[in-house]
Amino acid sequence: MADEDRERNRRPDPDALLALMDKNHRGKLTVFLGAAPGVGKTYAMLSRARRLKTDGVDIVIGLVETHGRSETAALLEGLEELPRIRVAHRGRMLEEFDLDAALARHPRIVIVDELAHSNADGSRHPKRYQDIEELINAGIDVWTALNIQHLESQSDLVAQITGVTVRERVPDVVLNRADEVLLVDLPPTELIERLKEGKVYLPESASRAVDRFFRLGNLTALRELALRRTADRVDDQVVDYLKQNAIEGLWATGERLLVCVGPDALSEKVVRVASRLATGLNAPWTVVSVERADREAHTRSGIGQLDQIFRLAEQLGAETRRIIGNDFVDEILKFARREHATQIVIGAENRRGLSRFLSRSLPDALTRRAAGIGVHLVTPDRKQAKKKTSLTPLLDRHRLPEAAITAGSFVAATALLGVLMNIFIRLPNISLLFLLAVLGAAVTSGYLAALLAVVLSALCYNFLFIEPRYTFTIAAPHEVFALFVFFAVAMIAGGFASRIREQAKIARVRASALQGLYDFSRKLSGTEKAEDAIWATVSQLQTSLKRNVVLLMPENGELTVAAAWPPDTDLDVADTTAARWAYDKQERAGNGTGTLPNSRFEFRPLLSPHGAVGVCGIEQTAERLDTSEERALSAILDQTAIAMDRARLSEANVTHAAQLEGERYREALLSSISHDLKTPLATITGAVTSLRQFGDKMSGESRDDLLQSIEEEGSRMSRFVANLLDMTRIEAGNIQPKRDWVDVSDVVQMAAERTRKYFPDRAIETSIAQDLPLVSGDSVLLGQVLFNLLDNAVKYGGQEPIQVFARRDGRDVLVSVTDSGRGIPPEDLDRIFEKFYRRGKTDGRAAGTGLGLSIARSFIEAMGGRIHAESPAVKKRGTRMVIRLPVTTQEKP
């Protein structure tokens, strides 16, 4: 039963399945791996290609180097070869692989020899493995060849074995991502024999190769490296297969390495050793660097060196992290336990002199506290170990003159003050004044000034105030003890003061950076337009980085410069191509990257949750961005991408809202047409049909009733069409009311009579004040408004009489229409004047379009008046519509 439950719960590894799905959308990379040149990698590729060509597979030769080997060149016959591109390089013409031709041809398989080859200057990518990566992303399978000495993690080991430094190297991650690794092997003795026969190099080159590289011991060691690396890759493929198919069996050892580095020469060796160790253990590994939170631990050169080490680690397939903390051992162990690291790799310098006894090194502290975690110590080479360490970098040699002047000034001023005070008052604790000088130098210029001030203060104190005076000798033993105590206290106090100074300086810098980011965030949050966000970003980047910046945004399928600083910045062809690459591939391009490095700018995509929204270009100089600038740049770009995405979504929301409003308008219009046209048309059609078929048999009274129905429904349709036309005029802004004297009493009487004509069964009462003044307006529009109000009152006002009042109220003429219906809730008093808004049930007649009150408000406002609703009107019921028209005091318009 337990076996059945385990079988049901067995599931494939999700990460392995996602990796498999990703590979299915890409081309496949096959690497023919050999221990050395001449083992037959190219020969094996071409032999296999000829077999597939015979089977009808679409396979072409992108580039193959035969190196003058006739048997290899013979295999090219019958295979399609892509033309090469000629490139000028250092005064001569080279034939290089044409990447664009291969992409345009788009075969199923393309053979591109020499994976570690470096492209000529001006190429899209500096390395051939980057060309191959682009082909794979385009869905093309690639076959290539590689010698083990060109692998990045093996380069230093190969140099140690053979004495030859390999210049062209390939990151390990390229081989790790290969879908298939085929080992092409040949015994070392047979390879040396082939070399002597001239089957590897030309005769004049073969003799030199035998003496230097192709030795039996060298080839045997390289063969072992190639066999181990291939075996590791096969093991990875087996593990992937087990995970993808949920097959229980032997798994990897579960090792995970944590590698500690810093800005020193030994860290590069530590990374390479850790890479080989991780490869041998088939274990993931992470490279970390710890930075102090209370001080700038690294100089600019140190930061640059640390960035190079991180880039090397990433090329070798490692993850990189930066940790901030004051207790290095505690931070490293916390990170190791959080990441489940089983082994820590760290460099161990050979410590000399008193430093071995005065303080415990970081490796020693890790070894004592790393319970359950293995610690591997990497020692420097013999040449590197002989180098003497110097305290000068710790003491900032560039500030030595400034520190000396500061310390000398403080000590001289203190000594003078002590001498003057000693003339009048003999103080037994005059040394406290010199301690004050040490603190002043530390706070002003740092630890180096404090150290110099300690030495100068001790000398001055001995020379001026310890008997015998004006000599550097000390007569009393207790004075010797006091001098040593002073020296120790001054050193400690100066150290603390200088540290506080550094902490305050760093705190100011970080606070300034945070304030800048906060102000930028507030500025972005207050911008509604994308253009404002773009210029805010360019300004902030130029202020933070002190470099030229350009921001490109997509427009009609093309990237265009949206903003730049300085504004006259121009982009050449290389810059534009790199920017397009960064936008399309959503990765860095340009200066300092592997894609179009000849560009002046480094282009970074602005990535939002919905994809790339633009590209930012930062002009690069000889000095790369340091860690703090990188962090500020990343934060600004992330906020900009979010702001641009928000602006795009806001524009989309406005468009969507307009579409919804249009849909609602159409739905309401169709609904109104179906109600307000179908019923009158049905009545008219029925009446006409009755008259045609039975008219001669009907009585005169019946015919009059039918004719009256036709007339009433026709008038109803006419009013409906008039309302639609009026609203169309209002929406188009074509309402131009006449400016004439209007007698409100006449308009009220005419509107009431018109309503009684259409609704003879409803009582309408009018009350008009005498001597009602004339108003300036349009009598036709005012009459239409009153009729709409009365029509609305008939529909919703119950069976009580409708009351119409007209009187003067101050400087206005007030006209009100009051009904006795159920009334309107307070929250709906303003909404009833909106288009298509209808509330409540009518008196049984078909509801209208909901345009009458909206038209009434538009007409009244066009004439300079106001209209509003009041409810309840009488006895806690009913609704009163109130119109206010200003009384004109000028002459007749």
822-839 pLDDT tens trace: 888 887 777 777 765 655
pLDDT beyond 70 at 840: no
Across 449-482, b (16+ Cβ under 10 Å) vs e yields bbbbbbebbbebbbebbbeeeeeeebeeeeeeeb
Sheet with 866-870: list strands edge to edge.
764-768, 802-809, 812-818, 880-886, 866-870
Closest alpha carbon to 571 in 561, 557, 580, 563: 561
Q: Strand, coil or helix: what is 32?
A: strand
For residues 392 and 358, what is the distance between their CA atoms, to the nearest angstrom? Answer: 19
pLDDT beyond 90 at 144: yes
Length of the chain: 893
Q: Strand, coil or helix: what is 182?
A: strand
Q: Is position 483 within any domain?
A: yes
Q: Is residue 847 within 8 Å of residue 838, measured between CB atoms?
A: yes
Mean pLDDT to the nearest integer, 200-227:
70
> Nearest 5°: phi and psi at 304?
-65, -40
For residue range 257-279, what is the model confidence (pLDDT) as tens digits? Answer: 899 998 888 888 999 999 988 88
Name the helix (H) or strand (E) containing 582.
Answer: helix 573-585
For residue range 127-140, what is the model confidence (pLDDT) as tens digits? Answer: 899 999 999 988 99
pLDDT beyond 90 at 551: no
Predicted confidence at residue 426, as pLDDT, reads 66
Q: Cβ–Cβ contacts within 10 Å for residue 437, how many?
A: 27
Q: Is position 892 within any domain?
A: no
pLDDT beyond 50 at 252: no
Same domain, 239 and 266: no
- Residue 711: C-alpha distances to residues 674, 720, 783 (Å): 20, 14, 21
Beta-strand pair 59-63/109-112: parallel
For residue range 478-520, what is the model confidence (pLDDT) as tens digits? Answer: 666 666 766 677 677 767 777 777 777 767 766 766 776 677 7
Q: Is position 672 within any domain?
A: no
Q: Among positive and negative, which fits the CA dihedral 322, 327, 331, 333?
A: positive
Same domain, 269 and 214: no
For residues 8 and 3, what is the distance between their CA atoms, to the nearest angstrom? Answer: 9
Indicate the range of 99-108, 278-287, 326-335, 655-664 predicted with least confidence: 655-664
Q: Is position 3 within any domain?
A: no
Confidence of residue 11 (pLDDT cuts 50, 70, 90): low
Beta-strand pair 558-565/740-742: unpaired
Indicate the range of 488-492, 555-559, 702-706, 864-868 predicted with least confidence: 488-492
Same domain, 443 and 475: yes
Q: Is 192 exposed, middle or buried (0-12, 13-18, 19+ CB in 10 A)?
A: buried
Q: Crossing angle for the helix pair 188-196 and 203-212, nearest 10 degrees?
A: 150
Q: Strand, coil or helix: what is 835?
A: coil
Predicted confidence at residue 382, as pLDDT, reads 65
For residues 850 and 839, what is the distance between their CA atoms, to the nearest angstrom? Answer: 9
Predicted confidence at residue 625, as pLDDT, reads 74
Q: Crossing angle for the helix pair 700-732 and 678-694, nearest 10 degrees?
A: 150
For residues 457 and 413, what is the distance between their CA atoms, to the nearest angstrom? Answer: 11
Confidence of residue 846 (pLDDT cuts 50, 70, 90): very low
Boundary of a domain, candidates 195, 221, 244: 244
Predicted confidence at residue 5, as pLDDT, reads 46
Closest alpha carbon to 520 in 397, 643, 425: 643
Indicate the range of 213-222, 599-608, 835-844 predicted with least confidence: 835-844
Beta-strand pair 812-818/880-886: antiparallel
Cis? peptide before 12, omega within 30° of 0? no
Mean pLDDT to the nearest integer, 179-193:
86
For residues 534 and 561, what is the distance between their CA atoms, to the nearest angstrom? Answer: 11
Q: Is position 23 within any domain?
A: yes
Q: Is position 686 within any domain?
A: yes
Residue with more model confidence, 678 or 135: 135
Q: Strand, coil or helix: what is 34?
A: strand
Q: Is 777 exposed, middle or buried (0-12, 13-18, 19+ CB in 10 A)?
A: buried
Predicted confidence at residue 486, as pLDDT, reads 67
Q: Return the structure tokens found at 815.
A: 């006209």
Indicate the range of 299-308, 634-643, 852-861 predicted with least confidence: 299-308
Which runs of consecutive H residues, i.e. helices, occur in 526-562?
530-545
- CATH number, domain with residue 607: 3.30.450.40
Same domain, 328 and 410: no
Boundary of a domain, candidates 688, 704, 734: 734
- Count of domains observed in the chain: 6
Same domain, 788 and 829: yes
pLDDT beyond 60 at 21: no
Looking at residue 469, its amino acid is R
Contacts of residue 808, defined as CB under 8 A and 6 or more positions apart, other chains included, come to 769, 772, 773, 814, 887
Same domain, 312 and 338: yes
Q: Return the structure tokens found at 346.
A: 């760290």
Q: Among positive and negative, which fits the CA dihedral 682, 687, 688, 694?
A: positive
For residue range 606-621, what is the model confidence (pLDDT) as tens digits? Answer: 887 777 888 888 888 7
Predicted confidence at residue 843, as pLDDT, reads 43
Q: Is position 668 within any domain?
A: no
Q: Which own/partner pairs from 364-372 qualify as long-range (CB within 8 Å, at least 24 positions apart)?
A: 365/328, 365/329, 366/329, 366/332, 366/333, 369/329, 369/333, 370/333, 370/336, 370/344
pLDDT beyond 80 at 732: no
Predicted confidence at residue 253, as pLDDT, reads 45
Same domain, 822 and 704: no
Tokens 């000590």 belong to 411
Predicted confidence at residue 427, as pLDDT, reads 62
Confidence of residue 287 (pLDDT cuts 50, 70, 90): very high
For residues 570 and 200, what is the distance between their CA atoms, to the nearest angstrom? Answer: 50
Q: Is residue 857 within 8 Å of residue 883, measured between CB atoms?
A: no
Indicate the range of 17-26, 538-547, 600-609 predicted with least confidence: 17-26
Same domain, 711 and 837: no
Cis? peptide before 468, omega within 30° of 0? yes
For residues 80 and 563, what is the distance between their CA atoms, to the nearest angstrom? Answer: 48
Q: Is residue 641 within 8 Å of residue 608, measured between CB atoms?
A: yes
Q: Is position 304 within any domain?
A: yes
Q: What angle do CA 85, 88, 91 make, to 5 degrees?
A: 150
Predicted confidence at residue 354, as pLDDT, reads 47
For residue range 203-214, what is the model confidence (pLDDT) as tens digits? Answer: 555 555 555 667
Boundary of a domain, candidates 504, 523, 544: 504
How large a percentage of the chain has pLDDT more than 70? 71
Same domain, 729 and 793: no
Tokens 């404002």 belong to 532
Same domain, 210 and 92: yes
Confidence of residue 110 (pLDDT cuts 50, 70, 90): very high
Same domain, 470 and 610: no
Confidence of residue 63 (pLDDT cuts 50, 70, 90): very high
Residue with more model confidence, 664 or 392: 664
Q: Give me the domain span that covers residue 712.
A: 677-734
Closest alpha carbon to 614 in 650, 648, 656, 565: 648
Same domain, 814 and 714: no
